[in-house]
Amino acid sequence: MTYPLNGIAPLSHLGVIRVEGEDAAKFLHGQLTQDFALLDLQHARLAAFLSAKGRMQASFIGFKRSETEVLLVCSRDLLAPTLKRLSMFVMRAKARLSDATADYALYGVAGDAINSAAGGTQPAWTKADFGLSTVVHLYPALGQPRALWVTPSAEPAPAGPALDAALWMWSEVQSGVATLAAPLVEAFVPQMLNYESVGGVNFKKGCYPGQEVVARSQFRGTLKRRAFIAHAAADVVAGAEVFAASDLEQPCGTVVQVAPAPGGGVDAIVSLQIAAAQEALQVGAAGGVPLTLAPLPYPLLDDI
């Protein structure tokens, strides 16, 4: 059975950090996993903010509003602590950081609605401006194109049919591109969520906090975990531990992001030990909820 993934959904779970000043892009370039120094006005970046140990503290979709202003869209429950941590590193940089969530309305646009609202589909992380509004094209889900629409709060929503917010959240899971949220701060290096394969890590840029750990994981073959898409017949929550049925003592993974599946149960992004992906899996130990893996919708990059 197929489910219509077409329309426009308001996204109340996301917030916006504004970084403005002549050093805005340069400052972010030195703090995040992606290249902001070379970012133009036609593209966006998926990026992570890491601890010194290379663990993700937040993830962002970042883009320039102008040459001196960058917006970072992130999970709203991480915005305040992330803004505080990032601000600690500004020092002499000519950049000012602020919570701009109240200034913008965010929408998810999916399916045919992209043609009318955003002028057609484009590759992921392509960005375009329509008056005061910005559209960032995302990874598709279930073969349907998707985009993020960011517009000043006073502007009207993009034109198109309404899309249930629950279906949009399901499409986020089905895209296989995780957004870090509060239960999972400092749980993963970016590759454990496949970020290097979906445009979230640049291995050729300069230093940033945690870079050595990320590079070591990539080039020394030490990466043991990957993100997968999975289905569970009963409810599970982000942050829950995943176990192989053959070993209920030691967890082999973590539930990262969850959304109700239209056909019943829930779908989830899970980060698993690669070796456990061939085993029978469950969320929770004794009496756990069985978990069935599905194919990823994008290839994992062997060569970066």
Share of residues in the chain with pLDDT > 70 (%): 97
Report the alpha-carbon distance of residue 297 to residue 227 in Å, rounded: 11
* pLDDT > 50? residue 304: no
Please name which of 130, 137, 125, 169 lies closest in space to residue 152, comparing C-alpha atoms: 130
Question: Which pLDDT score is estimated for 100?
Answer: 98
Residue 228 clears pLDDT 90, i.e. is over it? yes
Task: Average the pLDDT over 136-142 and give the result.
Answer: 97
pLDDT value, residue 1: 45
115 pLDDT more than 60: yes
Give the amino acid at 210: G
Task: Confirm if 71 and 15 have CB atoms less than 8 A apart.
Answer: no
Asked which of 9-18, 31-40, 116-125, 209-218 is least confident by mean pLDDT, the reply is 209-218
Could you write out the DSSP letters of every residue in 279-304?
A: S-EEESSTTPEEEEEE--SSPPPS--
Residue 268 has pLDDT above 70, yes or no: yes
Give residue 215's pLDDT band: very low, low, confident or very high (50, 70, 90).
Answer: confident
Confidence at 221, pLDDT banded by 50, 70, 90: low
Distance CA 250, CA 242 (A): 9
Q: What is the pLDDT of residues 163-179, one digit of tens each?
A: 999 999 999 999 999 99
Does this model's pTM top 0.85?
Answer: yes
- Is residue 41's pLDDT more than 80? yes
Average pLDDT over residues 274-281: 95
Output the pLDDT for position 4.
78
- From the number of C-beta atoms within 10 Å of its C-beta (0-12, 13-18, 19+), residue 239 rates as middle
How confident is residue 222, by pLDDT bands cut at 50, 70 and 90? low
**57-77 mean pLDDT:** 98
- The confidence score (pLDDT) of residue 119 equals 81
Report whether pLDDT(155) > 60: yes
Question: Is residue 80 scored above 60 in pLDDT?
Answer: yes
For CA atoms 164, 165, 166, 169, the dihedral sign is positive
pLDDT band (50, 70, 90) for residue 55? very high
pLDDT band at 118 (very low <50, low <70, confident <90, very high): confident
Q: Determine what percent of the chain is predicted with pLDDT higher than 90.
A: 86
